[in-house]
């Protein structure tokens, strides 16, 4: 982020209202760095949970619930359902908000929903996922926590491991 997104002039770092921020002296544009929401969906079908084997960072190579960024023209719930459909082909009904997690300097906020698979055809996204599957509580993939990985990986793993542990015990539906 070295050049102004508005006028392409170089940015300088200045104190703005008590906080250091990149500023464009040419046009006055101030760069605000704010975390963005990532929707995560615990989607179930007949007591099984939908997981995807992630092809990309964060948590590349791990099994995790479908997750993704929200687009500007959709609600969180719409974005959550769309991500499930794109990654797995399944249509889901979003039932309720389960949890919200934030951690400084990761750049994101996890917004976790519970949903039900109500249709669609299983068809994985070959770019985002290596594999996908529905897992019963006693068949969840056993995964070791990431070591020497970026903070975002370790945090995502913690959040996910906690969710899967809750699923194993039985989600409060």
What are φ and ψ of residue 145, in 5° steps?
-60, 145
4 touches Zn ion by CB under 5 A: yes
- The correct pick among 21, 29, 53, 116 for binding Zn ion (CB under 5 A) is 29
Q: Verify binding: residue 26, Zn ion, rule CB under 5 A.
A: yes
Per CB under 5 A, the list member of 3, 7, 60, 93 interacting with Zn ion is 7
6 binds Zn ion (CB under 5 A): yes
With contacts defined by CB under 5 A, how many residues of the chain interact with Zn ion?
Answer: 8
How far is the C-alpha of 101 from the C-alpha of 58, rounded, in Å? 16
Given the complex with Zn ion, which of 7 and 13 has the nearer CB atom?
Answer: 7
E strands, 46-171, in order = 48-54, 63-64, 67-69, 90-102, 108-120, 129-135
Q: Which of 22, 23, 24, 155 binds Zn ion (CB under 5 A)?
A: 24
Q: DSSP for 74-96?
A: S-HHHHHHHHHHHHHSEEEEEEE
Q: How many CA atoms lie within 13 A of 41 on its CB side?
A: 32
Is residue 27 near Zn ion by the rule CB under 5 A? yes
* Smallest separation, CB 107 to Zn ion (Å): 23
The stretch among 7-15, 55-63, 80-88, 107-115 that binds Zn ion (CB under 5 A) is 7-15
Cis amide linkage into residue 58, ω under 30° from 0: yes
Contact set with Zn ion (CB under 5 A): 4, 6-7, 9, 24, 26-27, 29
């Amino acid at each position: 982020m070295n050049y102004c997104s508005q006028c392409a002039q170089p940015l300088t770092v200045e104190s703005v209202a008590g906080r250091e921020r990149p500023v464009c002296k040419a046009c006055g544009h101030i760069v605000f760095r704010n975390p963005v929401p990532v929707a995560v969906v615990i989607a179930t079908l007949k007591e099984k949970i939908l997981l995807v084997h992630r092809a990309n960072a964060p948590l590349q190579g791990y099994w995790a619930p479908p997750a993704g960024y929200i687009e500007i023209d959709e609600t969180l719930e719409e974005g959550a359902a769309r991500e499930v459909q794109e990654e797995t082909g399944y249509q889901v009904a979003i039932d309720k908000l389960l949890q919200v997690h934030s951690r400084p300097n990761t750049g994101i906020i996890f917004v976790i929903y519970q949903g039900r698979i109500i249709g669609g055809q299983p068809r994985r996204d070959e770019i985002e996922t290596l594999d996908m599957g529905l897992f019963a509580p006693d068949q969840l993939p056993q995964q070791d926590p990431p070591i020497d990985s970026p903070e975002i990986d370790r945090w995502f793993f913690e959040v996910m491991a906690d969710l899967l542990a809750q699923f194993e015990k039985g989600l409060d539906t």
